[in-house]
Amino acid sequence: MSWKKLFAEGIERFRREDLDGALKSFDEAIPLADGASYALHDSRAAVYEKQNRLKDALRDAKKAIDIAPTQWHGYFRSARLFAALNKSSSALRMCSLALERLGEDPKHDGRRRELTALRCQLEARTKCPIAGMPVELLLMVFDLVCRPVALSLVCRRWREIALSHPTLWHSLVLAEPPKKAIHKVQEWHRRSCGQVATLTIRKSLGGVILKPFGGRQIHPDDLAMRDVILAELRRLDLAHVKTCHLEDVDIGLFLTALWGDIRSPNLQCLETLSASQSLLGREEPLGRTEYNIPSWANIRILRISNMKCHWMAFTVFVPGLTSFEYHITGLPVDFESIRYLLRANPTLEKLVVGTNTSYTPYATDTPEPLTMTHLHHVELSSVALSPVSTRNLSLPSLQVLRLSRLPGSALVIENLVGDPGTSFAELVELTTKNCSFETLSITLALSRAPKLEILQLTGGLDANVLAESLASPCSTPHPVFTSEIRGLVPTELPILCPSLTVLDLSGSPSLRTGPVMRLVKERLGLAASQDSGKFRLPGQDSDQRVSCIRSLKVDGCIRIEAEMLPWFRKNVPQFSCRYLPERNGS
C-alpha cells in the first residue's frame, strides 16, 4: 500500500478518535514517504498531542519544519507544544514565526486569533513586572537585598545586572566550612572589585578558626586555614569596610590581625562594629589594654554581647558613639559604669544595656549633673541601680523608654520625672516588664507625655488606678489626680495621653473590667466628637484629635469578665485576653 493511502487511512481513523489505529497508519506511511510530505509528521504530531506525548509530538513538529520551513503548520503546533511544556521563550518565538507564515489570508483568521491570544498569554507570563525600570533604579532596589546570588537566579536580565555591578556585592558573610569561606572571599573580591562594605564572621566559622588568637592551642590545619582566610581578606580594599559583625571572634586581636597596625588609616573608616560571644569568654576585658581595643574615633554604632568591659578605660577609645548596645549573661552591670560611657559620648542617641543578673548596690555620693541632649532611646534590663544612680541625669529629647526586670525601677521614673531638665514632651513609648512602680510616679510621667502612643506596663503596679486615670478627662476631678498632679496636667488636654493607641496591662490579676471599659469607651467618644475631642499641643499650628485604642492586651488579667470580651473585640481592632499563659508546644 502506498504512503498516500496509508496517510488517508490515518486521517480517517484520527477523525473517528481511533488514535492507536491512526498512529499505526502514520508509522507505516512515514518510512515509505521518505521525507516527501511534511503533513505526515504534522499529523502524527497531532496524534501524539492528543495522547499527551508532548515531547514525541515536538520531535515530529520539528521534522515538519525541517521538511517545509516556509509552511506554517510545524511552527503553529510547536508554539502550542512549547507552551504546554512551560517553555515560554521558545513558544513566543514559534508564535512569531507562525504568524509570519500565515500572512493575511482571510481563511487563516481563526488561527491568527488563536496564536495572538496565546502570545498575549505567554507575554503576560514571562514579562518582568519591573522590566521597564531604569537600571539605576533597579540597582537601588537590589541594594536593599544582601543576597546577590539569589537575585541572579530570578531571570536572565536580573542575572546580568547582579553579576555585572560591584555595588551589589558589598556584603560578605563567612561561615563554615573554611574551604568554602576561602572560595567565597575570592569570589566576592572578584565580583565587588575589592570594595566590600560589610564584613560578617558567623560563629560557625569564628568559633572554629578565628577565635584562638594569642598563643592558644590550635590544630595546625586550622591555623593554616586561618592564615589563608586572613590573607584573602587583606586582598580586599579594607578602606571601604564600614560595618563589621563578629561572632565568637576575639574582637581586638582579629581586627588587629586583619588591619595590621591599629593606627592604620583603613581601620579609621569603620563606623559600625558588633561583636558577640556564645558564652562569656575569658578574654581580657575590653579597654584593659590598648592592644585589644584600638582607638576607633569614627565608630558610631557599637554592639557588644557577652564580653566583659573595663568601663572607665573602654570609654576612652570610643568617644563619638551615636548608638551603643551591650548585653551580657552571668555578670551584673551597674548604672554607674554606664554613666562613664554617657559622659564620654555626648552625641549618643540610643542606649541599650541588658543582663540577666542584677543586685542593688550601696548608695554612693550623688553624681555630678549630666545632660544627654541627643539621647532619645533608652532600654535597661536587669541593670543594677542605687538610689542615686539616675539622679542629675537630664534627657530632654527622650522618645522611647523601656525598662525590664529592673530593681529600683521606680527610682528611674521618679528621678527622671523630678529632674527639671528631662522632658517627656516627645515621649512616644513607655514600656516596663516585671518592674515595681508607685502609681503616682507613673501618673506624673504620663501627665508630661502628651505624645505618648505606646504604653506597656506588665505587672508591678495597681492597674485599676492607672486605667481610671487614663479614662478620666483632665478637667474632671478624680481621686487619682491629687493636687500635685492637677497642677502638672495641661488643662487644654481633653484626656491624659490623648495620642495613646497601644495599651498593654498584662500580668495584673487585680485589673477589673470596669476601668478598662471606661478607658476604651471614653476615648471612642472623644475620637468621634467634633469639638471635645480636639486639642493643640504647644508649638503646633493645627488641632489634633484624640486617638482611640487600636491595640489592647490584658493577658493574665483573670478578673476581666468573659461576658464582656465580645464588646472589647468589637471596639478594639487588636484585642488579646488570655487567662492562662500559653504552654510550649500547644
**Strands annotated E in 466-533:** 502-504
Q: Which three cell numbers stand for residue 263?
A: 593606627
Strand 272-276, strand 534-535: pairing: unpaired
Q: How far is Cα 233 from Cα 226, in angstroms, rounded to an integer? A: 11
pTM of the model: 0.73
Nearest CA-CA partner of 443 in 453, 458, 434, 430: 430
Q: Is the pLDDT of residue 553 over 90?
A: yes
Q: How confident is the model at residue 585 (pLDDT cuts 50, 70, 90)?
A: very low
- The torsion angles phi and psi of 354, rounded to 5 degrees, stand at -150, 145
Least confident of 82-86, 110-114, 336-340, 417-421: 417-421
Closest listed residue to residue 30, CA positions, set 45, 12, 51: 45
Report DSSP state, residue 309: B
Asked whether 460 and 432 are in contact (CB, 8 A), the reply is yes
365 secondary structure, DSSP code: S
Mean pLDDT of 9-13: 85
Handedness of CA 229, 234, 236, 240 (dihedral sign): positive
| CA–CA separation, 21 and 9 (whole Å) | 9
43 burial level (CB within 10 Å; 0-12, 13-18, 19+): buried
Confidence at residue 214, expressed as pLDDT on a 0 to 100 scale: 42
Q: For residue 579, count other CB atoms closer than 10 A to its CB.
A: 13
Residue 309 reports pLDDT greater than 70: yes
What domains sit in the chain, N to C, each tagged with a CATH number? Answer: 3-126 (1.25.40.10), 424-586 (3.80.10)
Give, to the nearest 10 degrees, the angle between helix 54-67 and helix 73-84. Answer: 160
CB 297 within 8 A of CB 330: no
Q: Which residues pair with 169 in a beta bridge?
A: none
> Given pLDDT bands bounded at 50, 70 and 90, which one contains residue 416?
confident
Tens-digit pLDDT profile for residues 472-530: 876 664 565 555 555 555 667 788 889 999 999 998 889 999 999 999 999 999 888 87
Q: What confidence tens digit (pLDDT) does each residue in 44-79 have? A: 888 888 888 888 888 888 888 888 888 888 888 888
For residue 586, what pLDDT is reported?
40
Q: What is the mean pLDDT of the chain?
A: 80
Distance CA 548, CA 568 (A): 13
- What average pLDDT does the segment 114-119 reach? 86
Distance between CA atoms of residues 298 and 306, nearest Å: 23
| Grid cell for residue 147 | 543576597
Whether residue 211 has pLDDT greater than 60: no
- Contact predicate 22/47, CB 8 Å: yes
pLDDT, tens digit (0-9, with 9 covering 90-100), for 234-257: 787 777 888 888 888 777 667 767
- Surface-to-core class of residue 205, CB atoms within 10 Å of its CB (0-12 exposed, 13-18 middle, 19+ buried): buried
Question: Rounded to whole angstroms, how far apart are CA atoms 497 and 14?
Answer: 81
Provide φ and ψ at 327, rounded to 5°.
-130, 135
Higher pLDDT, 33 or 133: 33
Q: Which three cell numbers stand for residue 457?
A: 506596663
